[in-house]
Structure formats: structure tokens, C-alpha cells
Amino acid sequence: MREFYLILLMLSIALFWIGLIKPELVLRWIPETHRNRQKVLSFFGPLILVTFILFGITIESP
């Protein structure tokens, strides 16, 4: 499960940066007039935070 959260975290970070540069590429499901950087931040920001926490929870302690 740890690998799943790591892949999801890395993917969401990559899409976050791509979306900040060009929001039209990552926000396909939102109408074209509402695709902006604020929507990218409001979608991918919490996703990055949640996946980071879940990844941290699933790491085994030494």
C-alpha cells in the first residue's frame, strides 16, 4: 500500500506543477471558462497533503 501512496503522491505533485504552468492540460473535466491556477491549487493542494499523510502513516518504523 505504501507504494500506491508514493506513486499517487508523485503523480499529484507532477500534475500540480504542470497545472500551474498550463491548467488546461490537467483540468479536463472542468468547463473551459473555469480552468485556472486557483482551481489547480484547490484540487491538487489537498490531494498532495492527504497522500503525504497517508504515505507517512503506511511507512514501517525501523
Closest CA to 20 of 43, 52, 50: 43
Quickly state the pLDDT bin for 60 (edges 50, 70, 90): confident
First CA to last CA across the chain, in angstroms?
17
- The pLDDT of residue 45 is 95
pTM for the model: 0.85
User: Does the pLDDT at position 62 exceed 90?
Assistant: no
Alpha helices in the chain (DSSP H): 2-21, 37-58
Q: Write down the pLDDT at residue 56.
A: 92
The predicted-structure confidence for 22-48, as pLDDT tens digits, reads as follows 999 999 898 988 889 999 999 999 999
